[in-house]
């Protein structure tokens, strides 16, 4: 493990301050930035230092309803807007985000902690949803056909579902906003966006960019707040809201689904994960380690798709674990703005403490820390890349989402054992398989209970692919042609036979 020192090529404090000063700090309601109705505010912190980055207006329940008023007022006109016009707004937004890539990347690094290289990757990934759905906006096809008995005609059209509440997490501040906003815009829905209170700055800048791209007032409203319940509570009980899309933990998702049931709202839930990374004895181990690094260390492990359990066939476990530990231990830790930094801080002290508690419990149960295993001293919420060997199958770290740079390795004997261990979780989001046998890959993929499977690939998220899980990892899909369908309702019109006499 190495800790990256700051040097003269770091981003300057003046550059950081200027960027922060350019970000709107109010609530976006009906096209205008305004203060909270009660004048309340909350602070956003730098997880690398613990220092305050900015102070934002904290929306109240009254502000949330004002945002819904604006969304409801704008809905009819926005739904009637030509698909090509909606597409052009999204394309302009893609161009603007791409032009401002360095600003968005630095802002994410400051408020979330990830190294600049990762933030730049997120800008590319997040912007692609804007481009993808700009193309899908004009391809949301219906159909016209004759009934089987030939007596009537069937006309099927897709209509926007209506005003939507979009609740985004802190770990991918830009991509989670674009992944929800872009299909809603493409489908003709108006929105209330509630960013995570830990990382709202990127969403604030993104919303301003959408206005500059030509999005009409009231179509996108942003209510950053220190109180999630104060926003979601009144909105979910208001009959004007027609959909809620949430990315976050399974317990919170369940509560939102229960609340949404009262008005039978459309729901999209992208919830927790416990991704198995399965290495079979015939795998190319060097490529498996490379894939493991990508699947584990993207976003410092703070991703719902992060590999959470490393299931390795017994005959290759020692070699894989040694190579993996060497690669993990070589990563440089530091504030994300430092050029050499490869691992930034976790989001806050609570997250670091939770990760460390899982590590210590696993070690107490018999696991061995091959590298890492203790928090980094000093300011910020850093935790070193950690590999644990000989983790018992009943250890809590194999059941819970780690959300940090920790890789527990456990062994299996047969293909059937691997499938059984992979499925021994209430979660079913992402999974990863490494083998040279393509038939095995297909065979195992058909038997494991996950919405997404990586074949010899450690990163599989893409705007063109349907992202989502099964079991308690949620419902619905984001991205791909499926993504726009989440924001539309299907209407069937039965037409009398035009040839009847």
- Name the residues annotated as catalytic: 270, 304
**198: number of CA atoms within 13 Å, CB side?**
17
Burial, 500: exposed, middle or buried (Cβ in 10 Å; 0-12, 13-18, 19+)?
exposed
| Neighbour-count burial for 172-199, b at 16+ CB within 10 Å, e otherwise | bbbbbbbbbbbbbbbbbbbbbbbbbbbb
Question: Token pair 């005959």 is at which residue?
Answer: 315
**269: number of CA atoms within 13 Å, CB side?**
25
Contact 486, 245 (CB under 8 A): yes
Q: How far apart are CA 378 and CA 10, in angstroms?
A: 19
How many beta carbons lie within 10 A of that of residue 79, not counting itself?
16
Residue among 200, 199, 220 at smallest CA distance from 211: 220
Q: How far apart are CA 246 and CA 267, in angstroms?
A: 8
Contact 403, 411 (CB under 8 A): no
Q: How far apart are CA 351 and CA 103, in angstroms?
A: 26
Q: How far apart are CA 94 and CA 77, in angstroms?
A: 23
Contact 231, 244 (CB under 8 A): no
Contact 183, 243 (CB under 8 A): no
Residue among 303, 108, 123 at smallest CA distance from 198: 108
Sheet holding 152-160, edge to edge: 143-146, 152-160, 488-496
Strand partners, 401: none
Question: Token pair 């009906």 is at which residue?
Answer: 30
DSSP assigned state of 1: -
Q: How far apart are CA 234 and CA 253, in angstroms?
A: 17
Contact 322, 330 (CB under 8 A): no
Question: Tokens standing for 65?
Answer: 């309803």
The alpha-helical segments, DSSP class H, found in 100-200 are 101-112, 116-136, 175-187
């Amino acid at each position: 493990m190495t800790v990256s020192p700051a040097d003269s090529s770091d981003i300057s404090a003046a550059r950081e301050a200027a960027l922060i000063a350019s970000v709107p700090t109010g609530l976006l309601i009906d096209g205008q930035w305004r203060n909270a109705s009660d004048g309340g505010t909350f602070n956003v912190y730098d997880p690398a230092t613990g220092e305050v980055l900015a102070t934002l207006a904290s929306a109240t329940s009254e502000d949330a309803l004002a945002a819904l008023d604006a969304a409801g007022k704008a809905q009819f006109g926005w739904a009637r807007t030509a698909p090509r016009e909606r597409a052009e707004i999204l394309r302009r937004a893609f161009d603007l985000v791409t032009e401002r890539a360095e600003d968005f990347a630095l802002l994410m690094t400051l408020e979330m902690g990830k190294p600049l290289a990762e933030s730049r990757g997120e800008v590319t990934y997040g912007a692609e949803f804007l481009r993808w759905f700009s193309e899908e906006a004009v391809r949301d096809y219906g159909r016209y056909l004759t009934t089987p008995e030939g007596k009537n005609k069937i006309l099927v059209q897709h209509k926007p579902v209506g005003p939507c509440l979009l609740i985004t997490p802190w770990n991918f501040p830009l991509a989670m906003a674009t992944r929800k906003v872009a299909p809603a815009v493409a489908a003709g829905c108006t929105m209330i966006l509630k960013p995570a209170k830990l990382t709202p700055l990127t969403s604030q800048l993104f919303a301003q960019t959408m206005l500059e791209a030509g999005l009409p007032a009231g179509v996108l409203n942003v209510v950053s707040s220190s109180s999630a319940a104060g926003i979601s509570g009144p909105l979910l009980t208001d009959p004007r809201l027609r959909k809620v899309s949430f990315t976050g933990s399974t317990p919170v998702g369940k509560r939102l689904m229960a609340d949404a049931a009262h008005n039978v709202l459309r729901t999209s839930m992208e919830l927790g994960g416990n991704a198995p990374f399965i290495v079979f004895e015939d795998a190319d181990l060097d490529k498996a380690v490379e894939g493991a690094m990508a699947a584990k260390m993207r976003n410092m492990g703070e991703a719902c798709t992060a590999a959470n359990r490393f299931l390795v066939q017994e005959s290759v476990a020692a070699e894989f674990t040694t190579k993996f530990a060497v690669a993990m231990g070589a990563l440089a830790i530091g504030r994300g703005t430092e050029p050499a930094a490869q691992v930034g801080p976790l989001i806050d002290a609570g997250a670091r403490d939770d990760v460390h508690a899982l590590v210590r419990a696993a070690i107490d149960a018999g696991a061995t820390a091959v590298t890492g295993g203790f928090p980094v001293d000093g300011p910020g919420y850093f935790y070193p890349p950690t590999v644990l060997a000989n983790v018992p199958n009943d250890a809590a770290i194999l059941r819970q989402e780690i959300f940090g740079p920790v890789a527990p390795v456990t062994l299996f004997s047969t293909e059937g054992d691997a499938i059984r261990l992979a499925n021994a979780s209430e979660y079913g989001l992402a999974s990863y398989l490494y083998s040279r046998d393509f038939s095995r890959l297909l065979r195992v993929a058909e038997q494991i209970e996950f919405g997404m499977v990586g074949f010899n690939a450690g990163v599989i998220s893409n705007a063109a692919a349907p992202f989502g899980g099964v079991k308690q990892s949620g419902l619905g899909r984001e991205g791909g042609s499926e993504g726009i369908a989440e924001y539309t309702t299907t209407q069937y019109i039965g037409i009398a036979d035009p040839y009847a006499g």
